[in-house]
């Protein structure tokens, strides 16, 4: 619960809204307290003793000199008992209307305050998550972060609402009624308070079960979300493999576990309410027995007992829902803890504050003795990899699957941190400069082009601000993509489906290249960008790279011979090391691995 209260303190930042919430709750509760304290005694005097409001006011003035009713006000008061009752009922109705309006204001403002605070927390957590190191996100899994950003903040918002709009309102009403009960007979209130510690124990025990169950339910929901995403995003693979039943079995197992954890929470919540009610009944029975003894002995006036008991009943009625509200706040403790884990994780740019910007690359790139092992891997992905590249060179990196090609280039963009070695750009260690200025100079096109649901223009300008349509058209032309974009309905403003499914593989790759072109990078990284497209698309992409790559350093991971042959040099990797560098003919003559790759993997596109 400490984590929940850590987030809940942010509610206090909205000071004007907090003030309105407190004023609304106070007015609503004040009406109840004033009604309990005044209505009973006044009605008793009018109905039982046959007086009127006018008579009562005159009697008050006779007994009190400090505070007196003015004559003009006494003249306005009803002179008959029934008229006095009617006036009191009208006053009670007006108090009820004012209280209802105050309660409405309290509910609206408090729920809005909870929603806005939760939205800001959701934004903060997402902002922190996208600035975490890629290794951290990969280790926990993107689904885990998605679940925390979306579901956990929603669960915590429910806790905020329970605190501000429900608990506060009920507590203030309960306190007002409790004060009235103390005024009528404090001895009965002392007896009623003995139930407080027992109630605290009950809520504490059920709260622990709810927190544990909520944590398990959130974790089970992550697995359920992961299985759902894997099946629906990979639906093509599921159908072609005939794996519908296997996907259904995986989903069913996760769904059953999520249900089991949710039922665990429901049992704890369902148990707390009846226990509180049972405790309240025993408390009332005890009060009745004690009061009956005092009434029979002449030590307690029956009227005061009824008024005190009625006030306690109102207080109990207001406080009775607290068990449910406390349960909601207890349930919000688990998601609050999970969200704080994200916020406590170190951002990748945390150590970059104050570091200098990288000047535009114009000399060389050097990988010196890079060693890196993925968490849980048996052997390192990179084991002392060394490679030197001059500015303006076009270098292909080839090797068997799993030899570390993509991992090596990920070190250049600082997506991963090497365990040993360093990467130098123009003689400067990339870890000694601001990572944002480094990545601003690198354009990356991967095997799977990442496109967003939106327009063509949105996808090309992704990550940049203030880009004009003319610049986007120029980038599309240089990427050899304008020939198909101009035929789309709406051209630049044509809608792209989720994950770019409305475009072909070659079209998606050319959009990705246009995105890189628009950034005007000094370094272009092509990570198997042509491995899954047809020959015509490959030719257009290679032509676009050749034209745009002039005067830039181009690093290419490729499996096709036509792409490799167009490069100035070829670096051969095996088991995390660069074992040879040279041109195609040179490597065929001296490198056995390259010769085998050329025969088996580096196939001509057809």
**Do 331 and 468 fall into the same domain?**
no
Q: Which residues contact 35 (CB under 8 A, 6 or more apart)?
A: 92, 95
> Which two three-digit tokens encode residue 342?
């994200």
Listed range (106-115, 361-370, 414-423) with the worst mean pLDDT: 106-115
In which element (H, E) is residue 232 found?
Answer: helix 195-233
Range of the domain at 27: 2-214+269-344
Distance CA 357, CA 377 (A): 34
Question: Is the same domain home to 24 and 164?
Answer: yes
Total domains in the chain come to 2
**CATH assignment of the domain containing 149:** 1.20.1560.10
pLDDT confidence of residue 237? 64
Mean pLDDT of the 308-319 span: 61
Strand partners for 368: 422
Tell me, yes or no, whether 332 and 461 share the same domain: no
Backbone angles phi, psi at 375, to 5 degrees: -55, 130
- Residue at 379 is within a domain: no
Residue 587 falls within a domain, yes or no? Answer: no
**In this structure, are residues 114 and 156 in contact, taking their beta carbons and an 8 Å threshold?**
no
Segment 167-180 mean pLDDT: 67
Distance separating alpha carbons of residues 230 and 146, to the nearest angstrom? 14
Continuous H helices in 297-394: 302-319, 322-331, 333-344
pLDDT tens profile 26-68: 777 666 666 655 655 555 655 555 567 777 777 777 777 777 8
pLDDT of residue 554: 92
Average pLDDT for 148-174:
78
Position with higher pLDDT, 453 vs 541:
453
Query: Which residue's structure tokens are 């406080």?
Result: 319
Query: 247-269: per-residue pLDDT in tens?
Result: 788 888 888 887 787 777 777 66
What CATH number is associated with residue 461? 3.40.50.300
- 185 part of a folded domain: yes
pTM for this prediction? 0.73
Instruction: Please check whether residue 294 lies inside any domain of the structure.
Output: yes
For the CA atoms of 179, 184, 188, 192, the dihedral, rounded to the nearest 10 degrees, stands at -20
Residue at a domain's end among 328, 344, 360:
344
CA–centroid distance for 119 within its chain: 8
Q: What is the mean pLDDT of the chain?
A: 79
The answer to whether position 413 is within a domain reads no
Q: For residue 543, is it within any domain?
A: no
Per-residue pLDDT tens over the stretch 195-251: 556 656 665 666 666 667 777 777 777 777 777 776 776 666 666 566 778 778 888
Beta-ladder partners of 397: 557, 571
Q: Buried b / exposed e across 573-582, counting CB within 10 Å, b at 16+? A: bbebbbbbbb
Q: Note whether 156 and 282 are same-domain residues.
A: yes
Task: Return the DSSP state at 500.
Answer: G
DSSP 253-277: HHHHHHHHHHHHHHHHHHHHHHHHH
Of all residues in the chain, the percent with pLDDT exceeding 90 is: 16
Residue spans of beta strands (DSSP E) within 431-540 = 442-445, 454-455, 495-496, 523-527
Final residue of a structural domain among 500, 520, 540: 520
Place of tokens 């032309």: 477
479 part of a folded domain:
yes
| Residues 319, 234 contacting (CB under 8 angstroms) | no
Select from 308, 327, 344 the last residue of a domain: 344
> What DSSP string runs through 489-547?
TTGGG-EE-GGGTTS-HHHHHHHHHHHHHHT--SEEEEESTTTTS-HHHHHHHHHHHHH
């Amino acid at each position: 619960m400490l984590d929940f209260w850590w987030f809940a303190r942010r509610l206090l930042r909205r000071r004007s809204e907090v003030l309105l919430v407190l004023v609304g709750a106070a007015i609503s509760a004040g009406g109840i307290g004033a009604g309990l304290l005044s209505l009973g005694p006044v009605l008793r005097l009018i109905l039982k003793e046959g007086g009127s409001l006018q008579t009562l006011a005159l009697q008050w003035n006779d007994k009190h000199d400090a505070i007196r009713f003015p004559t003009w006000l006494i003249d306005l008061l009803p002179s008959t008992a029934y008229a006095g009752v009617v006036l009191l009922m009208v006053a009670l109705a007006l108090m009820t209307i004012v209280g209802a309006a105050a309660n409405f204001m309290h509910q609206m403002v408090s729920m809005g305050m909870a929603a806005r605070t939760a939205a800001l927390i959701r934004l903060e957590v997402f902002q922190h998550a996208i600035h975490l190191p890629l290794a951290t996100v990969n280790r926990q899994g993107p689904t885990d972060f998605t679940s925390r950003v979306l579901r956990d903040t929603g669960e915590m918002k429910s806790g905020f609402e329970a605190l501000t709009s429900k608990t506060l309102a009920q507590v203030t009403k309960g306190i007002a009624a409790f004060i009235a009960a103390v005024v009528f007979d404090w001895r009965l209130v002392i007896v009623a308070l003995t139930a407080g510690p027992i109630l605290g124990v009950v809520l504490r025990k059920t709260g622990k079960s709810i927190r544990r169950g909520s944590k398990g339910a959130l974790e089970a929901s992550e697995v359920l979300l992961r299985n759902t995403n894997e099946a629906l995003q990979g639906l093509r693979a599921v159908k072609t493999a005939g794996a519908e039943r296997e996907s259904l079995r995986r989903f069913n197992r996760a769904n059953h576990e999520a249900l089991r954890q949710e039922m665990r929470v429901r049992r704890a919540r369902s148990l707390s309410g009846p226990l509180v009610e049972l405790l309240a009944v025993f408390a009332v029975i005890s009060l009745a027995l004690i009061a009956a003894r005092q009434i029979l002995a002449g030590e307690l006036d029956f009227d005061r007992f009824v008024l005190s008991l009625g006030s306690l009943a109102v207080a109990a009625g207001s406080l009775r829902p607290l068990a449910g509200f406390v349960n909601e706040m207890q349930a919000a403790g688990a998601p609050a803890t999970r969200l704080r884990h994200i916020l406590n994780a170190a951002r990748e740019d945390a150590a970059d504050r104050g570091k200098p910007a990288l000047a535009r690359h114009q000399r060389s790139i050097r990988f010196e003795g890079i060693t890196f092992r993925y968490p849980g891997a048996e052997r390192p992905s990179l084991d002392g990899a060394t490679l030197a590249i001059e500015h303006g060179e076009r270098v292909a990196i080839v090797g068997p699957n799993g030899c570390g090609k993509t991992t090596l280039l990920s070190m250049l963009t600082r997506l991963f941190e090497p365990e040993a070695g360093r990467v130098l750009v123009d003689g400067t260690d990339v870890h000694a400069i601001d990572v944002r200025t480094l990545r601003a100079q690198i354009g990356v096109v991967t095997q799977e082009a990442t496109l967003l649901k939106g327009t063509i223009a949105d996808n090309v300008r992704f990550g940049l601000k203030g880009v004009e349509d003319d610049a986007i058209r120029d980038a599309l032309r240089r990427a050899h993509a304008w020939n198909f974009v101009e035929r789309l309905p709406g051209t630049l403003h044509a809608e792209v489906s989720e994950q770019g499914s409305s475009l072909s593989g070659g079209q998606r790759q050319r959009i990705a290249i246009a995105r890189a072109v628009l950034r005007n990078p000094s370094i272009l990284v092509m990570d198997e960008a042509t491995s899954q497209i047809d020959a015509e698309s490959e030719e257009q992409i290679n032509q676009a790279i050749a034209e745009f790559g002039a005067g830039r350093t181009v690093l290419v991971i490729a499996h096709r011979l036509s792409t490799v042959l167009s490069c100035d040099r070829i670096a051969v990797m095996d088991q995390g090391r660069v074992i040879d560098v040279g041109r195609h003919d040179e490597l065929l003559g001296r490198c056995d691995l390259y010769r085998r790759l050329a025969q088996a993997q580096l196939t001509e596109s057809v």
